[in-house]
Amino acid sequence: GAVVSQHPSRVICKSGTSVKIECRSLDFQATTMFWYRQFPKQSLMLMATSNEGSKATYEQGVEKDKFLINHASLTLSTLTVTSAHPEDSSFYICSARVSGSRVEQFFGPGTRLTVL
């Protein structure tokens, strides 16, 4: 099946710093990528939908200035957590929708962010 990678898989940072997470579709083009956040023992909550070449669409309650999303190519989307705080510590998962498919999407392995 198609492969989506995320980098880094784990990151620990100090409060106030910014962290960038990359999501790459390795063997297919993805017009749309989705960013989810998962707190411990909770479900996945969609944060934003990232479309190649245009601005991301954020879900209600998600601060767009704090969670910067860039989708500069058909295989790469990045999520930058700016001025991270301990409450931003979470598991961030991306998924990539296969271009031309309405619903087929593949998930990355996730990035565990810990903010000290």
φ/ψ (deg, to 5) at 86? -50, -35
Select the span of 19-27, 70-78, 79-87, 106-114 touching another protein (CB under 8 A): 106-114
Check residue 20 for interaction with another protein (CB under 8 A): no
Of 40, 31, 20, 13, which is closest to residue 114 (Cα–Cα)?
Answer: 13
Q: Which part of the chain contacts another protein (CB under 8 A), choosing from 14-22, 31-39, 63-71, 73-81? A: 31-39
Strand order across the beta sheet in which 76-81 lies: 4-7, 19-25, 76-81, 67-73
Torsion angle, alpha carbons of 4, 10, 13, 16, to 10? 30
Please give the Cα distance from 84 to 89 (Å, whole number). Answer: 8
Which one, 66 or 107, has the nearer CB to another protein?
A: 107
Q: Which is nearer to another protein, 79 or 110 (CB)?
A: 110
Of these, 20, 22, 29, 49, which contacts another protein (CB under 8 A)?
49
Q: Which residues bind another protein (CB under 8 A)?
A: 1, 31-32, 34, 42-46, 49, 51, 57, 91, 93, 95, 97, 102-107, 109-110, 112
